[in-house]
């Protein structure tokens, strides 16, 4: 049976990154209209994307790159807008019903809030939004009757396992364990950025690959799940599952556990966020369980990988603690990638920031953004 599903357009913020390009793959396959794009500065790719999808509005954060792109696209109908303001314009572009927020860093928070205020559907791939400002963002979604659909594979899995069912007893997030699973603390001291960037199962951006290697990524995901699914921290469990086939699970009060399985391909959760509640043909291969053979699960090694525990501590503290966590981690990861600190210093610095910096209990958005900045500055000072 052929059906014609008429869907609204999408805006893709962070369109030149890993999630952004995959979101455009999905849009191409589903023949979805792309109403706006936004990116940092990669104008070669932005130009190609704007031409291919005949995009009316393109935002470029870097002002000079925006000028250059406007010149290159002079023969088209595409309008190019610069800076932070341009990105916020792209988030609520006319013709977009869903905005994919796949920008990296705290830069995702404001456009997400703009889109929620406009009552749009937000397909959220940016971690910082919920990690730093989860309470404000969820309140805004409720106040404006807007939906946040998770793009991250774990949260998409939980979202799918929760469809039409009663209140969950526990959420079980799976973690691949990253490239250093099984190593001891001594061996971790000498790992290099190149080693950390080689993820066994998922093809991801640089920052998130390091977060996956430290397991801070899983800590962030616990915080996001707490906000997205209104689940108390102590009822969110993490299990290491090296095959990355079970993307997460939900345990119900009667002991039944519902899991979502699939190939490790981000286009599947991206597509679900764009088509929910419908399901469209697979954007990637299908799962061959006989090829996988066995699925294994183990407790995370929190002694060797302390980041998960540090993230839980921040989540329990509340207020600006998770903004501090995020800001400190961001800067520590950047320093590791620049070969300025060793791998084991990442959690050490993040933990120190959490111990030393003041926590604002009931923060405004401005307090949250300041907390991210001061944690980042704290890590800089510790290393200089």
Binding site for Mg ion (CB under 5 A): 152, 154
Q: Which residue's Cβ lies closest to Mg ion?
A: 152
Planar angle of CA 33, 38, 40, nearest 5 degrees: 155
Structure tokens at 205: 């951006």
Task: Say if strands 257-261 and 246-251 run parallel, antiparallel, or are unpaired.
Answer: antiparallel
Rg for the chain (alpha carbons), in Å? 20
Count the alpha carbons within 13 Å of 94 in the hemisphere toward its beta carbon: 2
Residue placing its CB nearer to Mg ion in the complex, 202 or 252? 202
Strand order in the sheet with 170-175: 236-240, 170-175, 246-251, 257-261
Residue nearer to Mg ion on the CB measure, 152 or 301: 152
Nearer to Mg ion, 171 or 379 (CB): 171
From the CB of 270, what's the least distance to Mg ion, in Å? Answer: 12
Nearer to Mg ion among residue 219 and residue 351 (C-beta): 219
Question: Shortest approach of Mg ion to residue 333 CB, angstroms?
Answer: 16
**Cis? peptide before 277, omega within 30° of 0:** yes
To the nearest whole angstrom, how small is the minimum distance from the Cβ of residue 210 to Mg ion?
14
At what angle are helices 321-337 and 216-228 packed, to 10 degrees? 150
In the bound complex, what is the minimum distance in angstroms from residue 124's beta carbon to Mg ion?
Answer: 12
Q: How far apart are CB 127 and Mg ion at their closest, in Å?
A: 9
Render the burial of 306-320: b for 16+ CB within 10 Å, e for the rest: bbbbbbbbbbeebbb
- Which is nearer to Mg ion, 217 or 376 (by Cβ)? 217
CB of 152 to Mg ion, least distance (A): 4
Q: Which is nearer to Mg ion, 114 or 152 (CB)?
A: 152
């Amino acid at each position: 049976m052929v059906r014609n599903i008429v869907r609204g357009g999408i805006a893709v913020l962070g369109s030149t990154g890993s999630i952004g390009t995959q979101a455009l793959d999905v849009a191409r396959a589903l023949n979805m209209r792309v109403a706006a794009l936004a990116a940092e500065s990669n104008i070669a790719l932005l130009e190609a994307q704007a031409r291919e999808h005949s995009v009316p509005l393109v935002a470029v954060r870097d002002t000079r790159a925006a000028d250059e792109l406007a010149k290159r696209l002079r023969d088209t109908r595409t309008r190019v807008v610069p800076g932070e303001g341009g990105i916020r314009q792209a988030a609520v572009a006319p013709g977009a019903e869903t905005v994919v927020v796949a920008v990296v860093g705290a830069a995702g928070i404001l456009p997400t809030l703009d889109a929620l205020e406009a009552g749009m559907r937000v397909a959220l791939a940016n971690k910082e939004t919920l990690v730093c400002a989860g309470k404000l963002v969820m309140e805004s979604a409720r106040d404006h009757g807007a939906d946040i659909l998770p793009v991250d594979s774990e949260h998409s899995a939980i979202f799918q396992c929760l469809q039409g069912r009663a209140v969950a007893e526990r959420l079980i997030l799976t973690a691949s364990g990253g490239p250093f699973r099984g190593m001891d603390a001594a061996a971790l001291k000498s790992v290099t950025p190149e080693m950390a960037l080689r993820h066994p199962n998922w093809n991801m951006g640089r920052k998130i690959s390091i977060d996956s290697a430290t397991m801070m990524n899983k800590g962030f995901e616990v915080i996001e799940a707490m906000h997205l699914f209104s689940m108390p921290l102590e009822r969110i469990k993490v299990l290491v599952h090296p095959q990355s086939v079970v993307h997460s699970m939900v345990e119900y009060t009667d002991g039944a556990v519902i899991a979502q399985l699939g190939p490790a391909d981000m286009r599947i959760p991206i597509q679900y966020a764009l088509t929910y509640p419908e399901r469209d043909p697979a954007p990637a291969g299908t799962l061959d369980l006989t090829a996988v053979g066995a699925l294994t699960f183990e407790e995370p090694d929190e002694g060797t990988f302390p980041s998960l525990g540090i993230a839980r501590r921040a989540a329990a503290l509340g207020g600006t603690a998770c903004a501090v966590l995020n800001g400190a981690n961001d800067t520590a990861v950047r320093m590791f990638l620049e070969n300025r600190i060793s791998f084991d210093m990442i959690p050490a610095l993040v933990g120190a920031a959490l111990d030393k910096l003041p926590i604002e209990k009931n923060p405004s958005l401005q307090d949250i953004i300041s907390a991210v900045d001061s944690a980042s500055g704290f890590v800089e000072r510790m290393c200089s």
